[in-house]
Chains A and B, each alone.
Chain A
Amino acid sequence: MIGIGIDIGSVATKGIIINGDKQCRAMVPTGWSPRDAGQAIIDQLLDLSGIERQEVEHIFVTGYGRVAFEQADKTITEIKCHARGIAELYPEVRTIIDIGGQDSKVIRVGEEGRVLDFAMNDKCAAGTGRFLQVMATALGLDVSELGQSEEPARNLSISSMCTVFAESEIIGLLARGNDKGGIIAGLHQSVGKRVAAMARRMGIKEQVAFTGGVAINLGVKRALEEEIGCMVIVSEACQYTGALGAALLASQL
């Protein structure tokens, strides 16, 4: 059965089409219209796979924009989709830490991607991609420039959890002539701390997977490992985990 899964996030919209054992994937910025982004993804996926729209049995949609997208045959929460996606990629994983553009979550999973428990932070920007976005701007960088390089051993710890205060804190640090590398490392540690606290509260069971847009940031990955005291697995397609789960459910695999 041919199925499409779409994850309409606050920053990016991701899609995967599954046809038997063949998969194609695509990503576009969500921009102002989740509906347009969803449509663009469907067009790209059909293009890439050479499949006609009528051949697609189900389109399952997840992510914060899921309710705005009328073409969905079904909407599913990110939580279930992440659990299903990870079960496919790493069946041994029991804890998923997902940091997206505007929220972060921790999901405890059992066998076959069954959700056992979850916690979510979507009230406050601290510990989300949004926090890093704001800080990158304050540092005069693009968010993709954070977390690429080896970071210095000494990080400047950022004490404010609140995005607004943290921003003025790093402006102060810059003004006092501190180097950006140390500040960036401090920011990553701040995100790691915040999310690790949420994970510990729920109980961490290995193995641990790190998903979502922020997972490509090596600095946050390192900080997270340090805070929770174990290795985390990051898939090369970490941003697609939710879309993969939705696509698997849509194609009833």
Chain B
Amino acid sequence: MLKELVQKFASVREINLMRIKEAKDTGRKVVGIYCTYCPQELILAAGAIPVGLCGTSEAPIAAAEETLPRNLCPLIKSSYGFAVTDTCPFFHFSDLVIGETTCDGKKKMFEIMQDIKPVHVMQLPHLNNTQASFDLWVDELRRLKLRLEEELNVQITDEEIWKAVDVINREKKALKAIFDLNRADPPPISGIELLTVAWSRSFSSNKGEMIDNLNGLVKEVGLQEKTISDPAPRVLLTGCPVGLGSEKVIRLTEELGAHVVAMENCSGYKTLDLQTDTAGNDPIVALAEKYLAIPCSCMSPNSYRLELLNSMIDDFRVDAVIDLTWQACHTYNIEAYEVGKVVKQKGLPYLHLESDYSNSDLESLKVRIEAMLEMVEK
């Protein structure tokens, strides 16, 4: 039954493609997003559909390399490749694409992407502990609101924003409940299933329905019979974002007999503890606070990520940590040093992997993961 429910999530992408096409025919607008910093609430409040855009597959990278340098993060190349080859239907249907100045690669790629689609780039500050940064980010949210109003020809009211805040808060809560199921031993959901659910969610055009499905999944797992404790190593994955198409490390780890019980990355737990505060009177300020707290490696310093990892290791009873850096992602690559220290201080094996979307290094990834798992053999 769990399998079937997860399968339902796997088909979200396809089903929503049709829905989005129909919605567009009736005049609804679609806004494409790439990153967890994008304040989706404003898009919802504008009555448009926010959709996650593709960037997790090797397929369009060769085409992207006709324009972009080879030695660039595969996520950036894949995102651009899908756009330039017009093979991501969600990009195709997007009326506007939103980007952020997270890392240098993305920032400069978005400039080139403007030739294909209107891209609105938000200036994300890289310090999250100064007033000036916060003020800038509030301004950037207001600027995005204006752009959405102009581009989509709507008026965004505070009331609509608060409604959207509530929807996204509930969605995060529901998704967190699913991830938290894996605190149990044995973990009821495999890493691949978890990824399927979390990643597919971003393609949904109907948030209300998605929240119901997420809650349904939690309920279903709650009904399952508890099985006996499982001695397989429990692995936590952190680092760069992973989606279906770039899930090779999760797959290899589970093929080698371990459980990927938790993911700290963007498709995982990174933002799930962050809820927009609804007590204030300016929804833009409330949103700015939430989004600036996201522990991405493009922030400096990024101490909340280390705290989050620290508590996740305990909460999910983790035996070993894999930190995945996509090739040429400097921020995650350098931050690996700090992450390694945190993990080793807790006495756990820490494996830092650098890879791309190709399959050329499967064997060498495998030997490293295997050796790490041998270190925790119970």
The contact string, 1 if C-beta is below 8 Å from chain A, for chain B 350-378, is: 10000000000101100110110011000
Number of A-B contacts (CB under 8 A): 30
**CB nearest neighbor in B for A76:** B374
B371 & A79 in contact (Cβ 8 Å cutoff): yes
On chain B, the residues within 8 Å of A80 by CB distance are: 371, 374
B361 & A115 in contact (Cβ 8 Å cutoff): no
User: Which of A79, A120, A122, A123 is close to B374, meaning CB atoms less than 8 Å apart?
Assistant: A79
A115 & B367 in contact (Cβ 8 Å cutoff): no
A118 & B361 in contact (Cβ 8 Å cutoff): no
**CB nearest neighbor in A for B351:** A118
On chain A, the residues within 8 Å of B364 by CB distance are: 120, 122-123
Please tell me the number of chain B residues within 8 Å of chain A, measured between CB atoms. 12
> How many angstroms between the C-alpha atoms of A242 and B374 in the bound complex?
15
> How many angstroms between the C-alpha atoms of A79 and B375 in the bound complex?
10
A115 & B374 in contact (Cβ 8 Å cutoff): yes
B375 & A120 in contact (Cβ 8 Å cutoff): no
On chain B, the residues within 8 Å of A76 by CB distance are: 374
Flag whether A137 is at the interface (Cβ < 8 A).
no
**CB nearest neighbor in B for A120:** B368
| Least Cβ–Cβ distance between A97 and chain B, in angstroms | 16
Flag whether A78 is at the interface (Cβ < 8 A).
yes
Flag whether A77 is at the interface (Cβ < 8 A).
yes
A77-B374, A117-B350 given; 20 more Cβ-contact pairs under 8 Å: A76-B374, A77-B370, A77-B371, A78-B367, A78-B371, A79-B367, A79-B371, A79-B374, A80-B371, A80-B374, A115-B371, A115-B375, A117-B344, A117-B349, A118-B371, A120-B364, A120-B367, A120-B368, A122-B364, A123-B361
Query: Interface residues, chain A, CB within 8 Å of chain B?
Result: 64, 76-80, 114-118, 120, 122-123
Query: Interface residues, chain B, CB within 8 Å of chain A?
Result: 344, 349-350, 361, 363-364, 367-368, 370-371, 374-375
The 7 closest A-B pairs by CB, nearest first: A79-B371, A77-B371, A80-B374, A122-B364, A77-B370, A115-B375, A77-B367
What are 16 A-B contacts defined by CB distance under 8 Å? A77-B367, A77-B370, A77-B374, A78-B367, A78-B371, A79-B367, A79-B371, A79-B374, A80-B374, A114-B375, A115-B371, A115-B374, A117-B344, A117-B350, A120-B364, A122-B367
